[in-house]
Amino acid sequence: MTRRSHEQLRLTADLAILTVREGSLQVLTVHRGNEPFRGHRALPGGFVRPRETVDDTAARELREETGLAGVHLEQLAVFSDPDRDPSGRVVTVAYLAVAPDLPVPEAGSDATAASWEPVDQMLDPAADLAFDHGQILAAAVERARGKLEYTTLAAAFCGPEFTIAELRTVYESLWGARLDHRNFSRKVLGTDGFLTPTGQRTSSGVGRPAMLYRRGPATTLHPPMLRHSMDLPVSPERRTTRTAGPRRVNGEHPG
Amino acid sequence: MTRRSHEQLRLTADLAILTVREGSLQVLTVHRGNEPFRGHRALPGGFVRPRETVDDTAARELREETGLAGVHLEQLAVFSDPDRDPSGRVVTVAYLAVAPDLPVPEAGSDATAASWEPVDQMLDPAADLAFDHGQILAAAVERARGKLEYTTLAAAFCGPEFTIAELRTVYESLWGARLDHRNFSRKVLGTDGFLTPTGQRTSSGVGRPAMLYRRGPATTLHPPMLRHSMDLPVSPERRTTRTAGPRRVNGEHPG
DNA sequence: ACAAAAGTGTTGGACTTACACCCATGC
DNA sequence: GCATGGGTGTAAGTCCAACACTTTTGT
């Protein structure tokens, strides 16, 4: 392919649409029918139109792919390596979208068949996502993980009404850790404006029915939800003793 | 001006370069000598070159404006209103840069004279920054304020060696609150990897000389620096009593 | 009855806050 | 001496991790 130095720059919006299905973090992908990267999986996205903001582009693509509107959508980062798209100079604005568990998109089952795929698999180099979409996905997951700590983003993964256990599953799926359900419950209930009780209770399933809640008005968590509490004593053996309870070590991630 | 629907889209990087000078948060601005917005102040920035990433553009502009390299530089957001630049379709990627107190740029005192200006003044509508640079600056300040809480970003405002008091001034300038110097000291010293002692002490100034420190390897703060502790009992009257010590209320900012 | 899931109570420890008090320097 | 700023000690309160225990359902 030609590499003209003065070719026109094009701008796209690409979306990492995340959800939690059956306790696993999943991402919406499309199957590319055209070059470049024909046959590869990619994140949904498209070109910015002349009289559109990039945010509008992202919202439009989201609607076109999932039929959803009003879900959480935020800018992630700009990816602008001159060679990221072999067909020319294309800069993309990556977005993180968070959706509840949908009844599978399969929008018309047209050429670009969309499907939910486990994030773990898509982040594996073997998945070989098109363009730099592996990087975009990694950034999206990292952002979502972090925002669970200090925002109410987790509720965006749930439907309009949900139980505390469902909410906890979101945390556990993203953090890959078990949380103590008793402390978790107290924590979210004690955070003003996180949950609004509906008065309803779940009916199906074994065990004591759970209360149902709706999203409350709060968006930030003070104090934050801490990323500790790894339990899961699979066998009845004591977990490693954690003598001088190391809260958390200062890591490298700049934020 | 003409409005052609298919005109070429151009991409720029704009920088909000922040510093703390004399206890006040300041931003580097340039004076525009050309249309549009001739005569207005603006944030430094420029076009993305054909074989350059946007991050490279930002780093290059930073170097050209301040001579600095290696300072903290991060993507903030994309601003893409189709009418944000009356001269055509220009999408910009805004960056936050954090620099120590420089000996004033005044790079050659050429046409685009650069200068530090207090952020308060530049955020006032009367300052009338060019384009949407007021929005960009507001986003930059908000980001910096937030990151002080849970990262070691504050140290990026200081020179290579600094005292705890200097570091505290950064927090106080950005948060507009006084912090208790005794608790602040313990907090930062107790955070592993935040500060590395040099063994040196300050010489000038009245009062007991302070220890000098360098930035440590840590980048995140766990637990975070809390945004409380407003004191400043200017006169020896009791501050408002804060009966049932309200930690913080869950606000609206999504993060 | 038993397993499973939801929910309450309680305790030790970590962290914060507020402030008394001591140290080192310039004038 | 004394004002000024740097630094240590400490006690009360808040929050959290851990876990015993109770409640409510399905089988």
CATH code at position B136: 3.90.79.10
The DSSP code for A85 is S
In a domain, B84, yes or no: yes
Residues A125 and A184 in one domain: no
Among the candidates A93, A119, A148, a domain finishes at: A148
Q: Report the distance from CA of residue B206 to the C1' of nucleotide C27 in Å, as an integer.
A: 9
Residues B14 and B140 in one domain: yes
* pLDDT beyond 90 at B246: no
Q: Does A151 touch chain B (CB under 8 A)?
A: yes
Distance from CA of A249 to the nearest CA of B (A): 7
Residues A47 and A77 in one domain: yes
When pLDDT is cut at 50, 70 and 90, the band that residue A69 belongs to is: confident
At residue B248, the pLDDT reads 39
Q: Does B55 touch chain A (CB under 8 A)?
A: yes
Residues of B in contact with A223 (CB under 8 A): 247
d(CA B123, CA B27): 10
Q: Report the distance from CA of residue B162 to the C1' of nucleotide D3 in Å, as an integer.
A: 24
Choose among A110, A136, A111, A109: nearest CA to A122. Answer: A136
In a domain, B247, yes or no: no
Among the candidates A115, A148, A181, a domain finishes at: A148
When pLDDT is cut at 50, 70 and 90, the band that residue B113 belongs to is: confident
Q: Report the distance from CA of residue B1 to the C1' of nucleotide C16 in Å, as an integer.
A: 59
When pLDDT is cut at 50, 70 and 90, the band that residue B239 belongs to is: very low
In a domain, A168, yes or no: yes
H-run or E-run covering B123: helix B119-123
Number of domains observed in the structure of chain A: 2
Residues B173 and B78 in one domain: no
In this predicted model, what pLDDT tens digit does every residue of B39-85 receive, in sequence order?
999 999 999 999 999 999 999 999 998 888 889 999 999 999 999 99
Residues A180 and A102 in one domain: no
A163 touches strand C (CB under 7 A): yes
Q: Nearest Cβ partner of B50 from A78, A89, A217? A: A89
In this predicted model, what pLDDT tens digit does every residue of A89-114 receive, in sequence order?
999 999 999 999 987 655 555 556 89
Helices (H), chain A: 54-66, 119-123, 133-150, 164-175, 181-190
Where is pLDDT greater, at B10 or B244?
A: B10
β-strands B10-21, B90-98 pairing: parallel
When pLDDT is cut at 50, 70 and 90, the band that residue A243 belongs to is: very low
d(CA B30, CA B107): 11
d(CA A38, CA A83): 17
Helix (H/G/I), strand (E/B), else coil: B158: coil
Residues B74 and B172 in one domain: no
Residues B189 and B136 in one domain: no
Residues B23 and B128 in one domain: yes
d(CA A56, CA A49): 9
Residues B140 and B78 in one domain: yes
At residue A3, the pLDDT reads 47
3-class SS string, A16-56? EEEEEECCEEEEEEEECCCCCCCCCEECCEEECCCCCCHHH
In a domain, B89, yes or no: yes
Strand partners, A27: A18, A117
Which positions ≥6 away from A157 have C-beta within 8 Å?
A18, A19, A20, A98, A99, A100, A101, A170
Contact B122, B76 (CB under 8 A): no
Q: Identify the CATH number of the domain in which residue A234 sits.
A: 1.10.10.10
In a domain, B118, yes or no: yes
Which positions ≥6 away from A78 have C-beta within 8 Å?
A91, A92, A93, A94, B54, B75, B78, B93
At residue B139, the pLDDT reads 98
Which positions ≥6 away from A208 have C-beta within 8 Å?
none
At residue A235, the pLDDT reads 36
Which positions ≥6 away from B239 have C-beta within 8 Å?
B230, B231, B233
A221 is in which domain, residue-wise? 149-238
In this predicted model, what pLDDT tens digit does every residue of A129-186 receive, in sequence order?
999 999 999 999 999 999 999 999 999 999 999 999 999 999 999 999 999 999 999 9
In a domain, B41, yes or no: yes
In a domain, B187, yes or no: yes
Tell me the average pLDDT across A35-59: 96
> Tokens representing A117?
């795929």
Residue positions counted in chain A? 255
B208 touches strand D (CB under 7 A): yes
Q: Long-range contacts made by residues B236-241, C-beta under 8 angstroms, separation at least 24?
A: none
Where is pLDDT greater, at B67 or B130?
A: B130
In a domain, A246, yes or no: no
If you search the block for the tokens 């759970």, which residue do you land on? A210
Residues A130 and A29 in one domain: yes
d(CA B196, CA B212): 9
Distance from CA of A109 to the nearest CA of B (A): 32
If you search the block for the tokens 């978790």, which residue do you land on? A184
Residues A164 and A134 in one domain: no
